[in-house]
Amino acid sequence: MEQTLGAFRGPDAPDLDELRTCVHCGICLPQCPTYRVLGEEMDSPRGRIYLMRAAAEGRIGLTPTFAHHLDLCLGCRACETACPSGVKFGSLLEATRIQLRRHGPPPRHRRLEDVILSVFPEPARLGVALAAFRLYRRSGLRRLVRATRVLRPFPRLAALEALLDDVPAAESLPPLIPARGTARGRVGLLTGCVQRHLYPGVNRDTARLLALAGYEVVVPRAQGCCGALELHAGRAEAFRSRARALAAAFPDDLDFVVANAAGCGSAMKEYGRWLPATAGFAARVRDVAEVLVEADLPLGPLPLTVTYHDACHLAHGQRVRQAPRALLRRIPGLTLVELGDSDLCCGSAGVYNLLEPALARELLALKVARIVETGARVVATGNPGCLLQIAQGCRQRGLDVTLVHPVELLARAVAVRAAGRRGASAPPSEASETD
């Protein structure tokens, strides 16, 4: 017999006791990106928990209005960091979205979401799509499309077109990278979907730094998507399938499984909640900053002024804040300037910027304004979605700002140190580093 909890039915329903943990104090409201932009109670964490609890208690149904307020949530989990009661909003949101997917009204952007989720979590398909984009850009068609503004009536398609600037050449890593120096252990490296195609240098630098830190690095060929996008969209069965496959792709003798994409790492660390058989795998997942901060890397000087954006699922999902900053501060000559509202979502949030482009643009404008205040010409952040989103915002504002993953700066500093030992010339200036 199917279990029911008010409007929720079957497995994976939100936990009613967890919903009742919220004391409606409102401390989360100013930390919520959608509440800051919209000023609407039902688009705040407190309001959304009220809606979820009302549904769980049978006072309201899974209506289009209910779904709309849940759809507008970025899932950034800033409310979890702020909450004095420790409400696990992220898992409540994901459970509710699973219920909406199974029993509620069709998603407002169902067709677009279906297309996106048929491509982005599939590395091979994504590679083909990006190859087509590379041709579109280099053929001159992009200039024509922008000059004629033919995408203006299609804001979501326009958001996707504007998000990408260029697609780098593909790179592949060997399946095994030996440790250098004193051995510290054996780790696996998640290459990701977007990361492997749009930021292959981040994977390359991650592997080299881990090896330099004394880790033998295993890069399984069979690894696929982590399933984070499907989890956030309420597609529980697809998410569990990907989680099971990814966990099976990595050997059991690894000390850690290293992720360099905040959203992926956050989802992987929580596999055990959704699929208990993967709990052991989840316990070994670490963000790259958590691993490298324990190492003594040989770093040369980089005369750069850098600011750091806290990716939501690194700061709020994984609670990793200080390790990336500590690593950047170790680089001689680098000045780290704190970013105001550093943990306010930039509007990327997986594919939120494609499904809700108007609200995402407002959040991006807030983020770019804070970056301008720092005076930094380099912005570091640990998630590919944030790199894409913030880079787009800086381009549109005409800013001379470079977006990098922290491991890219660490790898540059290592290269400078190595060049210095070989008697090479002085490191490049800040201007040349960011051109």
Cβ atoms of residues 5 and 62 within 8 Å: no
| Angle between helices 357-374 and 155-163 in degrees, nearest 10 | 40
Residue 433 scores a pLDDT above 60: no
Closest by alpha carbon to 16, among 59, 73, 69, 64?
59
Amino acid at residue number 197? H
Within a 10 A sphere around the Cβ of 172, how many other Cβ atoms? 12
Residue 429 scores a pLDDT above 50: no
Calpha distance 357→366 (Å, rounded): 14
Strand ranges in 272-398 using DSSP code E only, listed in sequence order: 285-287, 305-308, 335-337, 378-380
Helix (H, G, I), strand (E, B) or coil at 403: strand
Residue 1 scores a pLDDT above 50: no
Calpha distance 44→36 (Å, rounded): 9
- pLDDT in the model for residue 223: 96
Please state which of the four CATH numbers 3.90.780.10, 3.30.70.940, 1.10.3720.10, 1.10.1060.10 is assigned to the domain occupying 4-103: 1.10.1060.10
Calpha distance 243→235 (Å, rounded): 12
pLDDT digits (tens, 9 = 90+) for 23-75: 999 999 999 999 999 999 999 999 999 999 999 999 999 999 999 999 999 99
Closest by alpha carbon to 265, among 188, 204, 353, 171?
188
Helix (H, G, I), strand (E, B) or coil at 76: coil
- Place 164 in a pLDDT band, splitting at 50, 70 and 90: confident
- Place 142 in a pLDDT band, splitting at 50, 70 and 90: confident
C-alpha neighbours within 13 Å on the C-beta side of residue 296:
3
Tokens encoding 39: 């000023």
Domain 305-421 sits in CATH at: 3.40.50
Calpha distance 92→38 (Å, rounded): 22
Residue 432 scores a pLDDT above 60: no
Residue 366 scores a pLDDT above 60: yes
Calpha distance 109→371 (Å, rounded): 31
Higher local confidence (pLDDT), 146 or 177: 177
- pLDDT in the model for residue 171: 87
Place of tokens 């593909």: 170
Calpha distance 65→56 (Å, rounded): 16
Place of tokens 């939100």: 14
- pLDDT in the model for residue 3: 74
The model's pTM is 0.93
Higher local confidence (pLDDT), 250 or 153: 250
Among residues of the chain, what percentage have pLDDT more than 70? 97
- pLDDT in the model for residue 2: 64
- Place 426 in a pLDDT band, splitting at 50, 70 and 90: very low
pLDDT digits (tens, 9 = 90+) for 260-313: 999 999 999 999 999 999 999 999 999 999 999 999 999 999 999 999 999 999
pLDDT average, residue stretch 330-334? 98
- pLDDT in the model for residue 230: 97
Q: What is the mean pLDDT of the chain?
A: 94
